[in-house]
Amino acid sequence: MREVALACALAGASPLAAAVKAPPAPAAIPLHACSAAERGEWRFVREEQLGIQARARSGGGWVGLTAATDGFHDWAPFDDFKTTVCGDLMVFDTFEPTREKKLLRFLPEIPEHDWNIILIPTGESVFDERFKLATRLMERGHEGDLEVCFDRDHPCFEAEVTPPAELLKANTAGRWLSACRLGQTVCVFGPWVGDGGHGHRPEIHPAERIWWRDGDRMRLVFVQDASQRFADRRQFQWKWGQTEPGSWHPWATPGLEGEFRIAFEARKGSRVPFRIDQLLDGNTRHVEHPVPAGDLSFPLGPGGDAGTVRVALGLGARSDRLELDPSKLDVALVDVCDRGDGTLQGFLALGDKAGYRYQEGEGFDAFEVALPPFLESRTPGEPGHAESRADRPREALHASVRIVASEQATHDAEAESVPRILDVLLQAVMEKPQAMPTVEKETAQREIVEKMTARPAGVDVGYARRFKLSARPHYDGPRGERMEHAVDGANREDLQRLLAAAPAPVPERVAWTVRVRDLTSPGRSPGPVRFQCKRRLLIDDECVLELPAPAEGGPPEEVLGVTATAWLLDGASNPIPAVTFVGAAIAPGGDVAQQEVGLASHFLRATKSDSAEKVFAWLSDACSAGSELSRRARSPNEARPDSSDLGPYRREYYARMLRHGVSLATVDGRITLDELRQFVGMAEAFGDLPPLSRLPPPPRAK
């Protein structure tokens, strides 16, 4: 009030006159007839996202193709847009390396204290589909890097963020989001990426907005990542031969801006009450359209004859503020429409902005919202519907094998032979079932092969007759990170001691099965194959595969396919089980720790800056609507979900994830037979979407 009085004195006016000039109350909200798309999106948010929708503002929702990197590993985007995924909370914990690693305690504190939110995406939903598609884009041999919940029955994914210290402490003290909520539905919003430190397994990272139901209220948390990994353009240096649009900025840039949209519905002429309490905030900033007061009334329709939405803003008991700061909140009604049956629907948008351009300047906002009653009572996301999973044993050690295959002494295929080689590779790809209807499948596949080999669009092909195959044991679970250090350092004694403490069987040898076949002339013997192995950590874990030399004269057009399978054996030649429960006897039977990769003597070259775009354009011809696939993959606008017809929404991310997958695959300079098989399958599925109930499961940790 002192500031107001001073301003008034300078202007020759009284404080009372200045108060009259306060921002006006909200004007009446005009109504229009709800379109089918508006009805469908509202219903999707209500039924699939706990009635809450997260959005970025000021271009902050655009992720693009550029990956973030911290100098050690990268986070490569799977989608152009920040994404929402909802699922059952299976694990919640925090990671603070300075406290948890003894060596780091003597160094300056590392600005990392992560929330690790492990979710199983809602089954038979678009979230489940997006997760399963992303797992196909992981690096080969890294299925063991997938998060796996509960006896390996449910592959799951991690939403990760480093909250500012104040928010971290408040969440711990208030037990807002904790292990007490296991089994409850939680939704997260942020970049949908592959973590390069774990075979590019899918993650939401950083998780920018998080929400869940807390009794009869909703908890909404907006957080700017404080790890200092995603806020500066210099941390985004991995590009795919293209330039991001001018509106692009780092994913957690200072001044991060966005909103929660809260769905509501009401009968015409009624009064809709909202109560929003700001539990805690830090380093929030002034918004462009601040609210005029803490008690708002939004008239609906001309003169408010269609009803009123009343919003009461307050402070939670744990807030450090003495009074609400309306200048840092933006509250508005959006997409309010008349259904034509005597009811209205719409969203209350709660916008905010956080973060400054200096260390420890990251911001956050946390709210508790009392929702008005819906016309049909329903309380999705309450604890209990997944408790049977949460009660199952969790202390399990997961073992798998990671095969790394690399071509040795590669050469370029001659240009005139490329169409014939591509024809052979595509025929081999079509041998395995793809996600497309069985009716006229053979005819459709033949048309795809004909189109793609007739116009290879500048796609280059390389070949090799020598491969290096390395098989490493891989462990997830208790002390898994220490086991991985022992594996990486070939320290057998440490690995043996760590496994004995579990107790878990100790691998001694890698067993291999290698199958080579002639893809150019099926049925013909490929000739003698040489396969020799030696020991690095385990017996026979480093191998060299030499394929038969081509016939004398002319380019080596005979394409050979290779299937290599590796599994672990203990000292008595017994297979190592994929799961060992800590502190329990080893159960016989079940899956064993193994891995399979598919290779070919020929592969797609991707050594030029435009290789990814050329290969994507070529793959676009794999479906009848090739131009439509390319258009949707490059669209600067994201389709909105529509519960009555999810087809356009699903097709868009099939297209975008295919383009991102191709870009990711070209980093190592080639696209292998396994990768080509996956990409062609995604292109086919773009045209003929499989039912959500029949989606192929993600790869298991083998």
498 is written with which tokens? 């760590």
Given a cut of 90, whether residue 28 has pLDDT beyond it is no
Mean pLDDT of the residues in the chain: 84
Burial of 531 (0-12, 13-18, 19+ CB in 10 A): middle
CA dist 702 and 400 (Å) reads: 5
More confident residue, 583 or 235: 235
CA 288, CA 311: separation in Å to the nearest integer? 19
- CA-nearest of 51, 24, 668 to 378 is 51
Alpha carbons 689 and 691: distance in angstroms, whole number: 6
Least trusted range by pLDDT, from 25-29, 39-43, 337-341, 381-385: 381-385
Q: List pLDDT tens digits, range 476-498.
A: 777 777 888 899 899 999 999 99
Distance of CA 664 to the CA centre of its chain: 14
Using DSSP's 3-state secondary structure scheme, residue 423 falls into: helix
- pLDDT, tens digit, 9 for 90 and up, residues 444-466: 667 677 777 776 778 899 999 99
| Residues linked to residue 157 through DSSP beta bridges, in sequence order | 119
Mean pLDDT of 72-79: 91
* DSSP characters over 492-553: HHHHHHHHHHTT-PPP-EEEEEEEEEESSSTTS-----EEEEE-SSSBT-EEEEEPPPPPSS
Mean predicted confidence (pLDDT) in 61-65 = 92
User: Is 100 in a helix, a strand, or coil?
Assistant: helix
Q: Per-residue pLDDT for 254 more than 80?
A: yes
Alpha helices in 324-377 (DSSP H): none
Whether the CB-CB separation of 239 and 65 falls below 8 Å is answered with: yes
Q: Give the mean pLDDT of 541-558.
A: 78
Q: Are 363 and 371 in contact (CB under 8 A)?
A: no
Residue with tokens 């980093």: 667
pLDDT value at position 3?
Answer: 39
Residue 302 pairs in a beta bridge with none
**Rounded Cα distance, 38 and 641, in Å:** 9
pLDDT above 90: residue 1: no
Token pair for residue 459? 């796609």
